[in-house]
Chains A and B, each alone.
Chain A
Amino acid sequence: MNCVELSNVCCRVDGKDILNDISFAIPSGSMWAIIGPNGAGKSTLIKILTSIIKPTSGEVKINGVNINNLSRLDIAKNIAVVPDNFNTNFDFTVFDIVLMSRYSHNRKSYITNADNAAVLEALDKAKISHLKNNLYKTLSSGEKQTVLLARAIAQDSDVILLDEPTSNLDVKNQMEIMHMLKTLNEEKKSVIAVMHDINLAVRFINNFIIIKQGKIINSGNIKTVFNEDILTDLYDINVDIYKDVNSRFLFMQAEKIK
Chain B
Amino acid sequence: MKKIHIFIFTAISIILILLYTAAGTADIAFLDTFKILAGKLNSSLSGFSNSKEIIILNIRLPRVLLSYISGACLALCGCGYQSVFKNPLSDPFILGVSSGAALGATLSIVLSMPNTFLGLNITALMAFFGAVITVFVVFAIYENSQRNSTSSLLLIGIAIGQFITAVISVLMLLNQDNIKDIYFWTLGSFAAKSWPHLAVVSVYFVIGFCFMMHNSKNLDIMLLGSQEAQYLGQDIYKVRRHILVITSLLAAGVVSVTGIIGFIGLITPHVVRIFTGPMHKKLMVYSVFIGGIFLMTADTIARSALKFELPVGIVTAIFGAPFFIYLIYSSKREVL
Contact = CB atoms under 8 A, between A and B. Distances in A.
A155 interface: yes
A116 interface: no
A133 B333 CA distance: 15
Given A89-B334, A90-B223, A103 B234 contact: yes
Interface residues of A, number: 28
Interface stretch (B58-66, B165-173, B212-220, B292-300): B212-220
A50 B231 contact: yes
Interface stretch (B73-81, B152-160, B277-285, B306-314): B277-285
A88 B224 contact: yes
A96 B232 contact: no
Contact of B232 (A71, A88, A104): A104
A228 interface: no
Contact of B231 (A76, A89, A107): A76
A91 B231 contact: no
B336 A89 contact: yes
Contacts of B235: 71-73
B227 interface: yes
B266 to A, nearest CB: 17
B121 interface: no
A110 to B, nearest CB: 8
Interface centre among A71, A89, A100 (most CB of B within 10 A): A100
B181 interface: no
Interface in A66-93: 71-73, 75-77, 80-81, 83, 86, 88-93
Given A88-B224, A109-B217, A76 B233 contact: yes
A73 B218 CA distance: 13
Interface string A90-106: 11110010001101100
Contacts of A52: 227, 230-231
B232 A93 contact: no
B37 interface: no
B278 A103 contact: no
A155 B227 CA distance: 16
Interface residues of B, number: 26
Interface centre among A71, A73, A86, A103 (most CB of B within 10 A): A103
Contact of A100 (B221, B273, B281): B221
B228 interface: yes
Contact of B234 (A72, A86, A88, A109): A72
Contacts of A96: 220, 277-279
A200 to B, nearest CB: 24
A103 B221 contact: yes
A77 B234 CA distance: 11
Interface string B249-287: 000000000000000000000000100011101000000
B217 A107 contact: yes
Contact of A83 (B216, B231, B281, B336): B231
Interface centre among B233, B235, B278, B336 (most CB of A within 10 A): B233
Nearest to B233: A76
B228 A86 contact: yes
Contacts of A109: 213-217, 281
A112 to B, nearest CB: 12
Contact of A101 (B216, B218, B223, B232): B232
A104 B233 contact: yes
A77 to B, nearest CB: 7
Given A96-B220, A100-B221, A109-B216, A75 B233 contact: yes
A91 B230 contact: no
A77 B233 contact: yes
Interface string B297-336: 0000000000000000000000000000000000001101
B217 A103 contact: yes
13 contacts: A51-B230, A52-B227, A72-B234, A76-B233, A90-B278, A92-B279, A96-B220, A103-B221, A103-B232, A103-B233, A104-B232, A108-B214, A108-B217
Interface of A: 50-52, 71-73, 75-77, 80-81, 83, 86, 88-93, 96, 100-101, 103-104, 107-109, 155
Interface of B: 213-218, 220-221, 223-224, 227-228, 230-235, 273, 277-279, 281, 333-334, 336
